[in-house]
Structure 1
């Protein structure tokens, strides 16, 4: 899942505006793609000056040593930066740009509008203490091997200088914070301070940095750790008689959805669509469950209640899973199988020069079993992409059994489709072919997550799993996650759905385990909108495919659709749709 944070900025900067006003005259519109390309490059350089943390995490390391103090002045300068960029964009005649640059124009404009909205309307800097967290970027500098260790440690040391001022300023800005977000911030800072107390010192031991210099670096790390723990203690002791609700509210939700999801639909329309999808899935799951009942239960009476019937069938099938010590090898074994299936069915070109490296989850990422993909930043397109596989070693038997029932032999295959081939990993390879840095940096999460969900369905449509009804039933259960994510997020943040109602809905209707449902409640109470990205993207991509199929008629080929769709990079589906469906386009 990919999300972006609107970060604060307080550096002095020179804003590139694309063209000048001459003696007060109205600016001329620009119809030159070459000029716009230069504007994009300069825009990114100025963005990294005011957003050094973001720069670090996308692989641009010129400003690794800079930490912005999140003051009111910083916000004002950031808003000013955004306004000037919008002024620059308005001078380019968008119709004269290439198709790729049209999307870049939209993405930059949307991001700059979101910066203004976030700082002037949402104002989460007042009520979300978890936004004030320096640890992630420092951990990135420490653990990602993009430069020699000594160079990274010196950047780390220089960046620490502003940590005490950073947290003093944070305490000034916070007003009536959300309880759930306050607790999240306390947990994150308490758990993450070890980066400064232990990890930094351990890394220093591996270098030849002079002893005197090391001592100065350790002293600053100690001051940084004290500032971090002091902020957590301040939050714990904060008197807050009238905290803000974690619910975003309908107006802010609609605005955030517009900027984050960039959908052609409204939040209400997505919610309504998700409700209809839920009904469809329940009907199909009931049909399959009735079909499979005699195979697994013989002449035992079938439950009259449809949801009970489905739940019992899913529970029975979930018993088919690998042993704890086979979890990693089972995931690794899926990659060549998925690759061969995609090739055999001619669904998509898989570049053999861009292999996916399956590895044991690194120690600094440990804590949650399962699987994830780590991709290189936009500035390091040649780097390896890793499929990180967690371990269940040391887990209590009951815990590992519950986990493996959730990721049973059917779901494990679907997980690998989603995360790897032809899901996230494959989409990333295609995105990196695109020369547009803008699409990689301002990537659209709904497109990225939607593609991964879409590929699950596409693979099963083409016979993956040998058309077994058991596999289809389990995919429907998996797809219910995306559907209920959208229903849940909208119902909670624009309505009054309670924790008890959420747990009941997810366990009874979406067939989730109690722990999983409780985890989702926690997630929706500390985030908003992102949970809708999976279903929204999936729905828009499947709708686009049907429209494209109708347009192409007997010339339609699934492989052509998939490759053309991916060729536009990580852009919002609505803009890809405009280009793929335009008159005369192929």
Structure 2
């Protein structure tokens, strides 16, 4: 185990201690390293065996104790924030390893797809170098899946169902993408092709093992965490002083206010009284203007150009000329969210793109379900989605964050979910208020505000109050105006995840309050740039750094 503590720790030792802890965290988990953009461990997969988990828990416990015993009185503002962020990070890691123990019941944790895809998709190094690392990861797949079979037990059925599709997608990724990379370096075929074949075989066997669990009809453990575990995880996720009860109260209040504004907007758009019927009529009208599986990616690309031009013309925030590639979501990542933003890590030195990925409808969906999906993700909603995922949302915010350089790498190691999601939701509001897309976009953005509030409400009620599916579906489709397909997907996401759905609402509440505290004389662009200039810290720390 690494030794983090100098003989006599002093305030001035914090940067040295922080760097030692960062290195230990990077080395202990290849997923953390890959997400951060550190390629030293690109030939490895995470080790979820009992011995490795115990060793990692001991390491982060030692790191937490070392940070807690450090004298922080003389730290400057940036180092003080880094100390608090690193302390929160290791405490959260320890909680996850010791209390939640997700690798023991969630098969999705064992998905090697993201780590394989990062080597296949991003040209951060010569193809030969990436193939050598890829060969190492492929060679590790059979053992990693064998470990998964040993440690996994009593898995929730919804997680197993999702995992079957994702792991089959990993096999497809290897089958389709590895040969293309080998075409550029045929001298490595003899080394890579055998481990590629072995990995595909192991994935097929693992999918069969998962399907056998489904065939038994056993529902497995309840995916709901229960209030004590969920509230503890919420505290670690949000890193805020808001208790769970207040989050729920504020979310209901925002839900009612956003609903009233949506009805007013619908009345302005189509005429008539500001009622639910008018709102449904307006949303139905917009829902008829929608893309298809064949056109949704192209629409997102067009939307990125539109949103970029609008941000530039209205001088909302400084643009950064980094590449953003919009593409169909890989199969190994589907089943949880409709879209995501996958940026290069803050430690990445090469000029590589951010991926903005959208999932089309599955091939086996009936036409009616696919039509419902695209009524929800209509032309106007896709434009609002692009604001959130790309411009000036995740893509632009994370591009700014990668340019932050502090005295340590702490802010390169992890980001605050509430800040990242909060900024993206705030970006939707910012663009709509500035007039982007007119009333149709404003209406869709208000519908997303309803969804944001419902995310937090359902997240808590499902995991803490055993909210049944029929009540959640009724709430989303009736008062939330969501299509049935979207509501069904959110129900699954609430079961598959916990506390992440609350980051949108809590993050937006805190980020919007910081934005509203813009000093007299500061332009919106200058203040937004200042908000984005400190990496992605929790909003409470950003307030300190900005003097709010």
What is the TM-score when the length of structure 1 is the normalising length? 0.83
Matches within 5 A, 1:22-421: 27-28=8-9, 30-32=10-12, 35-197=13-175, 199-209=177-187, 214-215=189-190, 217-238=192-213, 243-294=220-271, 306-321=275-290, 330-351=299-320, 354-357=321-324, 361=328, 373-380=341-348, 383-386=351-354, 388=356, 402-421=372-391
Residues 158, 384 of structure 1: CA spacing in aligned structure 2 closer, same or farther, 3 A cutoff? Answer: closer
The answer to whether the Cα contact below 8 Å between 1:127 and 1:178 also exists between their aligned partners in 2 is yes
Which SS does the other structure have where 1:94 is aligned? Answer: coil
Residues 174, 322 of structure 1: CA spacing in aligned structure 2 closer, same or farther, 3 A cutoff? Answer: closer
In 2, Cα distance between equivalents of 1:123 and 1:184: 19
Which SS does the other structure have where 2:186 is aligned? Answer: coil
In 2, Cα distance between equivalents of 1:318 and 1:379: 41
In the TM superposition, residue 64 of structure 1 has moved relative to its aligned partner by: 1.8
1:486 to 449, 456, 473: 456
In 1, Cα distance between equivalents of 2:338 and 2:109: 27
Show structure 1 runs of 5+ residues with no match.
Answer: 1-13, 21-26
In 2, Cα distance between equivalents of 1:500 and 1:391: 26
Q: Which moved more, 1:94-103 or 1:446-455?
A: 94-103
In 1, Cα distance between equivalents of 2:201 and 2:359: 33
2:495 to 525, 544, 547: 525
The answer to whether the Cα contact below 8 Å between 1:89 and 1:109 also exists between their aligned partners in 2 is yes
In 1, Cα distance between equivalents of 2:72 and 2:156: 41
1:497 to 437, 443, 467: 467
In 2, Cα distance between equivalents of 1:94 and 1:201: 53
Q: Which moved more, 1:59-68 or 1:357-366?
A: 357-366
Cα-to-partner distance string for 1:475-518 (whole Å, 9 max, x where unaligned): 21122121111111111111111222222211111111111111
What is the TM-score when the length of structure 2 is the normalising length? 0.88
In 2, Cα distance between equivalents of 1:391 and 1:494: 30
In 2, Cα distance between equivalents of 1:77 and 1:324: 46
Matches within 5 A, 1:519-558: 519-546=489-516, 548-549=517-518, 552=519, 554-555=520-521, 557-558=523-524
In 1, Cα distance between equivalents of 2:299 and 2:374: 12
Residues 185, 349 of structure 1: CA spacing in aligned structure 2 closer, same or farther, 3 A cutoff? Answer: closer
In the TM superposition, residue 530 of structure 1 has moved relative to its aligned partner by: 0.8
Which SS does the other structure have where 1:209 is aligned? Answer: helix
In 2, Cα distance between equivalents of 1:332 and 1:536: 29
The answer to whether the Cα contact below 8 Å between 1:57 and 1:140 also exists between their aligned partners in 2 is no
Number of the residue aligned with 1:451: 423
Number of the residue aligned with 1:4: none
In the TM superposition, residue 67 of structure 1 has moved relative to its aligned partner by: 3.5
Residues 272, 381 of structure 1: CA spacing in aligned structure 2 closer, same or farther, 3 A cutoff? Answer: farther
Residues 291, 349 of structure 1: CA spacing in aligned structure 2 closer, same or farther, 3 A cutoff? Answer: closer
The answer to whether the Cα contact below 8 Å between 2:251 and 2:457 also exists between their aligned partners in 1 is yes
In the TM superposition, residue 434 of structure 1 has moved relative to its aligned partner by: 0.7
Number of the residue aligned with 1:424: 394
In the TM superposition, residue 123 of structure 1 has moved relative to its aligned partner by: 2.1
The answer to whether the Cα contact below 8 Å between 2:324 and 2:353 also exists between their aligned partners in 1 is yes
Cα-to-partner distance string for 1:448-467 (whole Å, 9 max, x where unaligned): 111011011122333434xx
In 2, Cα distance between equivalents of 1:498 and 1:206: 53
CA RMSD of aligned residues (A): 3.2
The answer to whether the Cα contact below 8 Å between 2:423 and 2:511 also exists between their aligned partners in 1 is yes
The answer to whether the Cα contact below 8 Å between 2:48 and 2:103 also exists between their aligned partners in 1 is no
Equivalenced residues, count: 541
Matched, 1:568 2:534: yes
In 2, Cα distance between equivalents of 1:367 and 1:177: 19
Which SS does the other structure have where 1:96 is aligned? Answer: coil
The answer to whether the Cα contact below 8 Å between 1:254 and 1:267 also exists between their aligned partners in 2 is yes
Cα-to-partner distance string for 1:268-304 (whole Å, 9 max, x where unaligned): 211211110111112222233344444xx7xxxx69x
Number of the residue aligned with 1:15: 2
Higher Rg of the two aligned structures:
1
Which SS does the other structure have where 1:167 is aligned? Answer: helix
In 1, Cα distance between equivalents of 2:527 and 2:93: 34
In 1, Cα distance between equivalents of 2:200 and 2:295: 40
In 2, Cα distance between equivalents of 1:250 and 1:394: 34
Q: Which moved more, 1:358-367 or 1:227-236?
A: 358-367
Residues 391, 183 of structure 1: CA spacing in aligned structure 2 closer, same or farther, 3 A cutoff? Answer: closer
The answer to whether the Cα contact below 8 Å between 1:372 and 1:388 also exists between their aligned partners in 2 is yes
Q: Which moved more, 1:405-414 or 1:244-253?
A: 405-414
In the TM superposition, residue 52 of structure 1 has moved relative to its aligned partner by: 2.3
Q: Which moved more, 1:408-417 or 1:379-388?
A: 379-388
In the TM superposition, residue 115 of structure 1 has moved relative to its aligned partner by: 1.9
In 2, Cα distance between equivalents of 1:509 and 1:218: 54
Number of the residue aligned with 1:475: 445
In 1, Cα distance between equivalents of 2:270 and 2:309: 33
Residues 102, 201 of structure 1: CA spacing in aligned structure 2 closer, same or farther, 3 A cutoff? Answer: same
In 2, Cα distance between equivalents of 1:358 and 1:137: 18
The answer to whether the Cα contact below 8 Å between 1:322 and 1:330 also exists between their aligned partners in 2 is yes
In 2, Cα distance between equivalents of 1:130 and 1:409: 32
In 2, Cα distance between equivalents of 1:246 and 1:394: 24
The answer to whether the Cα contact below 8 Å between 1:374 and 1:386 also exists between their aligned partners in 2 is yes
Number of the residue aligned with 1:509: 479
In the TM superposition, residue 559 of structure 1 has moved relative to its aligned partner by: 3.2
In 2, Cα distance between equivalents of 1:242 and 1:320: 40
Residues 243, 217 of structure 1: CA spacing in aligned structure 2 closer, same or farther, 3 A cutoff? Answer: same
Cα-to-partner distance string for 1:216-239 (whole Å, 9 max, x where unaligned): 543333333333333333333346
